[in-house]
Amino acid sequence: VPERIATYGRTSRIIEKHGFAFQKRFGQNFLVDSNILEKIVAGAELQPEDDVIEIGPGIGSLTQYLAENCRQVIAIEIDNKLIPILEETLEGYGNVEIVHEDVLKVDLKRLVEERCGNRPVKVVANLPYYITTPIIMGLFESQVPLDSITVMVQKEVADRMQAKKATKEYGALSLAVQYYSDPTIVTQVPPNCFVPRPKVGSTVIRLRKRTKEQYAVADEKLLFQVIRASFNQRRKTLLNSLSHGLHIPKAALEAMILEAGLSPAIRGEALGLDAFVELSNRIAAGSY
Ligand code: SAM
């Protein structure tokens, strides 16, 4: 077995040898705990024939485990200082490709098409926390064929992703994630598993992509506008926040809310995904 990159000693030696300086603005916290890496790989349910996209390989701690457990890894890293380090630490792994790009700017659909054909990929990553939501939403909204996303995120964000209605964590992120996927917590991760230690607790969460046909949505864009408007002003009633956010006259909206079997005095946080779909379909069909 090749030496693990994710130990405190090896990581320190690599960083020292290359004179690497951690960049806060890139959300760099490297994993130094092989137990956690084994849990991530198990949680991602990797098969030997899988193609994996990794976002932010850092010095290759997780990449090494992915490479040993799947067919190929495409690892996208923004920091040019890490590219020569990765080339060295992952030298022995012929099934890893390092792509020096910003994950929010790269054409992922094309990259996946070129490297993996039309086979659904698994995304596995210890995410840079400052862009967690744009990365996850970008993946779901892209045309990239996805099997699942298994990621380390800030604990509080994982709690929001899997929150059920009528809880204080429930909001637009819960609904978006649960519309596209079925979330499962893999493991909790304390700050001492990273170098440098983050100030927040972390959670590994798996989002298994679901088939969209589960919900009959007339207008997806409108559904998400309705969801966002409902949570923009949490204290307001559904009627008030929607008529304000979507510029629909109150009388017309009230009728649609009642037809959807809801009370106009209800708040967004009391509505499940089914109710949001029902309501947005009525708004899509309505004339006002
Ligand atoms: N995977 C490594 C590990 O687990 O030790 C590093 C994880 S660290 C939390 C996040 C990584 O994402 C860093 O390597 C950082 O440079 C990279 N990163 C930050 N912003 C990025 C972006 N926009 N596109 C691609 N990589 C990015």
pLDDT of residue 286: 85
Residues 233 and 230: their CA atoms lie apart, in Å, by: 7
Residue closest by Cα to atom 8 of ligand 1? 28
Q: How many Å lie between the centroid of ligand 1 and the Cα of residue 75? A: 10
- Selection from 179, 180, 105 nearest residue 147 by Cα: 180
pLDDT of residue 207: 98
Q: Residue 284: which pLDDT band, with cuts at 50, 70 and 90?
A: very high
Residues 54 and 82: their CA atoms lie apart, in Å, by: 14
Phi, psi at 207, each rounded to 5°: -115, 100
Q: Looking at the CA of residue 31, tell me the nearest atom of ligand 1.
A: 5
| pLDDT exceeds cutoff 70 at 101 | yes
- Selection from 149, 174, 19 nearest residue 85 by Cα: 19
Q: Which two tokens stand for residue 199?
A: 């100030």
ipTM score here? 0.99
| pLDDT exceeds cutoff 70 at 212 | no
CA distances from 161 to 98, 177, 220 (A): 29, 6, 19
pTM of the model: 0.95
Residues 245 and 43: their CA atoms lie apart, in Å, by: 39
pLDDT per residue over 12-62, tens digit each? 999 999 999 999 999 999 999 999 999 999 999 999 999 999 999 999 999
Ligand 1 pocket check: which of 26, 100, 202, 204 to mutate, most ligand atoms within 8 Å of Cβ?
26
